[in-house]
């Protein structure tokens, strides 16, 4: 009888366990196939064995016996095959997503948050609430922190480095299941080298981020700005606020021709001593006050935000989180490329892109009314990233990011690829560098030779047999076809 009760209890307990797919989905629609392909669906992970370990012990035994190549998928938002691992092993750390330690920021010292390798920015935001903040956020807090820093993901701000710069400690699990860690105090030089790593140094099992005091963001959005005025203001306009995004669908013909829309953001209070002027309304109009749909929100479950507002850092800096700090659903509607050029070339670089893009078809801009028009390009976005010292960072100097969202319709894929190549070619004279997670050619990953050699040497020390390397990273980091 006792055996029967135990069996029933065990069966019920098992029945209550969410499936691997449910773990990786984490309650947000759009991630159901994450163990098979990336979020947008342009990269299949191949016939890999997928494992979603529930503990560090399970992770260790999965890594020790794993068939190569071994890759980890974070939230699968990279458009490049960084997590592809045909014939090998695909790991998801969706169940290793706990906050391990939190120290609140004080008047005279930074705070910190230590998390497991599967934790997302949403989960960090939810844990912090109003007790602290991160210096910046990417557009989507759906990303895992480990996955975002691995590719050098960034927000916008002339005084703000990419998100990897906020990491003060990183721990990797190596192919033999042991761990190695780096931190700012013990290994100040090496932590620079390992922050941006493309998954080549092992599995990130835990990491610590700086936490600054809670702040609010005042956002001011202006629509229908004459595009030429926006271009003429580069790069100085970035100094007029803490964070700025400039979008346009207006290089070609169509409903947005010749127009841009701009969001200025001011931090209150600012976490650094940089004196940024108060917001001075630019000459081109009044701020947009009407509520708008959040980025990529599912029309069946739309979420709205006020583009000109003052609100918490988390929901005002990020685009795909609602006022209750829950992730909004995201429709996989775009394919993206992003290239960086030194900031001093901002104006010439944008003009060069305008020239190649002038014949393309553009979708209606976000602000337009009437029947929406779909083109090959949805929008360009220009942001700014302060230079950092990570060895394989795509922004070693203060940079302008030239981002393009392409219509993800598979029928337009070849046209989109040609357009990516054209943008890359237009930016080559300015010393172009590509985002590690977005579409580009391998040649656009320009890393200073001495830094690249040091990074490769560290990869060899961590992983002498190259277990954590897939075809893609061999091509972009080791130049092997």
Binding mask 159-198 for ligand FAD (x = CB under 6 A): ---------------------------------------x
The dihedrals phi and psi of 207, each to the nearest 5 degrees, come to -155, 155
Q: Which stretch binds ligand FAD (CB under 6 A): 77-85, 211-219, 259-267, 298-306?
A: 77-85
**Residue closer to ligand FAD (CB basis): 105 or 366:** 366
**Residue closer to ligand FAD (CB basis): 105 or 395:** 395
**Residue closer to ligand FAD (CB basis): 197 or 345:** 197
CB 430 within 8 A of CB 339: no
Neighbours of 176 (CB within 10 A): 11
Q: Which stretch binds ligand FAD (CB under 6 A): 4-12, 147-155, 212-220, 307-315?
A: 147-155
* Residues 317-336, interacting with ligand FAD (CB under 6 A): 336
Q: What is the DSSP letter of 58?
A: H
**Residue 83 lies near ligand FAD (rule: CB under 6 A):** yes
Q: What is the DSSP letter of 40?
A: S
**Residue 476 lies near ligand FAD (rule: CB under 6 A):** no
Side-chain-side CA neighbours of 403 within 13 Å: the count stands at 26
CB 139 within 8 A of CB 121: no
Query: Of these, 138, 175, 255, 342, which contacts ligand FAD (CB under 6 A)?
Result: 138
**Residue 143 lies near ligand FAD (rule: CB under 6 A):** yes
Query: Of these, 89, 112, 122, 153, which contacts ligand FAD (CB under 6 A)?
Result: 153
CB 293 within 8 A of CB 328: no
CB 361 within 8 A of CB 388: no
CA atoms of 478 and 481, how far apart (whole Å): 9
Query: Of these, 23, 30, 70, 78, which contacts ligand FAD (CB under 6 A)?
Result: 78
Q: Which stretch binds ligand FAD (CB under 6 A): 9-17, 67-75, 232-240, 257-265?
A: 67-75
Q: Which stretch binds ligand FAD (CB under 6 A): 68-76, 177-185, 304-312, 421-429?
A: 68-76
CA neighbor of 203 nearest in space, from 171, 166, 231, 158: 171
**Residue 146 lies near ligand FAD (rule: CB under 6 A):** yes
**Residue 264 lies near ligand FAD (rule: CB under 6 A):** no
DSSP 287-335: PP-S-EEPTT--TTS--EE-SSEEEEHHHHH-SSB-TTSPBPP----EE
In the numeric block, the tokens 């979008």 are attached to 247
Find the helix or strand (DSSP H, E) in which 182 lies: strand 179-183
**Residue 256 lies near ligand FAD (rule: CB under 6 A):** no
**Residue closer to ligand FAD (CB basis): 203 or 234:** 203
Query: Of these, 93, 225, 402, 458, which contacts ligand FAD (CB under 6 A)?
Result: 93
Token pair belonging to 396:
């070693």
**Residue closer to ligand FAD (CB basis): 72 or 379:** 72
Binding mask 110-129 for ligand FAD (x = CB under 6 A): -------x------------
**Residue 75 lies near ligand FAD (rule: CB under 6 A):** yes
CA atoms of 141 and 130, how far apart (whole Å): 17
Neighbours of 369 (CB within 10 A): 7
CA atoms of 318 and 139, how far apart (whole Å): 5
**Residue 225 lies near ligand FAD (rule: CB under 6 A):** no
Q: How many residues bind ligand FAD (CB under 6 A)?
A: 32
CA atoms of 60 and 319, how far apart (whole Å): 36
Q: What is the DSSP letter of 159?
A: T
Q: Is the peptide bond before 272 cis (omega within 30 degrees of 0)?
A: no
**Residue closer to ligand FAD (CB basis): 215 or 295:** 295
**Residue 263 lies near ligand FAD (rule: CB under 6 A):** no
**Residue 208 lies near ligand FAD (rule: CB under 6 A):** no
**Residue 150 lies near ligand FAD (rule: CB under 6 A):** yes
CA atoms of 460 and 113, how far apart (whole Å): 30
User: Which positions touch ligand FAD (CB under 6 A)?
Assistant: 39, 71-78, 82-83, 93, 117, 138-140, 143-144, 146-148, 150-151, 153-154, 198-199, 203-204, 336, 435, 437
């Amino acid at each position: 009888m006792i055996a029967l009760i135990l069996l029933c209890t065990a069966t019920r307990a098992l029945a209550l366990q969410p499936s691997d797919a449910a773990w990786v989905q984490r309650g947000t629609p759009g991630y159901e196939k994450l163990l098979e392909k990336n979020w947008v669906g342009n990269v299949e992970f191949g016939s890999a064995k997928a494992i979603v370990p529930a503990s560090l012990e399970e992770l260790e035994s999965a890594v020790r016996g794993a068939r190569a190549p071994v890759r980890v998928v974070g939230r699968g938002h990279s458009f490049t095959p960084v997590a592809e691992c045909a014939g090998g092993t695909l790991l998801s750390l969706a169940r290793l997503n706990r906050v391990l330690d939190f120290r609140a920021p004080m008047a005279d010292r930074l705070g910190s948050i230590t998390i497991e390798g599967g934790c997302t920015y949403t989960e960090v935001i939810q844990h912090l609430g109003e007790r602290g903040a991160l210096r910046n956020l990417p557009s989507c807090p759906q990303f895992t922190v480990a996955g975002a820093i691995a590719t050098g993901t960034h927000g916008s701000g002339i005084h703000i480095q990419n998100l990897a710069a906020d990491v003060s400690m990183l721990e990797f699990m190596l192919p033999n299941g042991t761990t190695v860690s780096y931190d700012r105090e013990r290994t100040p030089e090496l932590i620079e080298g390992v922050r941006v790593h493309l998954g080549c140094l092992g599995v990130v099992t835990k990491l610590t981020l700086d936490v600054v005091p809670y702040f609010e963001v005042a956002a001011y959005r202006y629509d229908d700005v004459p595009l030429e005025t926006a271009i003429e203001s580069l790069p100085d306009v970035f100094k007029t606020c803490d964070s700025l995004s400039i979008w346009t669908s207006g290089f070609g013909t169509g409903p947005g021709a010749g127009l841009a829309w701009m969001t200025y953001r001011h931090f209150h209070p600012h976490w650094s001593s940089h004196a940024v002027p108060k917001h001075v309304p630019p000459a081109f109009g009044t701020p947009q006050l009407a509520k708008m749909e959040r980025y990529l929100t599912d029309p069946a479950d739309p979420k709205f935000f006020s583009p000109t507002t003052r609100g918490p850092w988390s929901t005002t800096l990020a685009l795909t989180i609602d006022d209750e700090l829950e992730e909004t659903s995201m429709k996989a509607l775009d394919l993206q490329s992003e290239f960086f050029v030194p900031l001093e070339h901002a104006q010439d670089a944008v003009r060069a892109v305008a020239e190649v893009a002038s014949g393309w078809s553009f979708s209606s801009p976000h602000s337009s009314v009437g029947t929406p028009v779909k083109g090959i390009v949805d929008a360009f976005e220009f942001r700014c990233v302060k230079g950092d010292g990570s060895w394989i960072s795509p922004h070693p100097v203060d940079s302008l990011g030239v981002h393009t969202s392409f219509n993800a319709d598979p029928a337009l894929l070849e046209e989109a690829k040609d357009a990516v190549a054209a943008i890359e070619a237009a930016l080559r004279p300015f010393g172009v560098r590509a985002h590690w997670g977005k579409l580009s050619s391998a040649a656009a990953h320009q890393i200073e030779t001495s830094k690249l050699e040091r990074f490769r040497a560290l990869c060899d020390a961590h992983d002498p047999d190259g277990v954590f390397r897939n075809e893609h990273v061999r091509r972009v980091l080791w130049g092997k076809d």
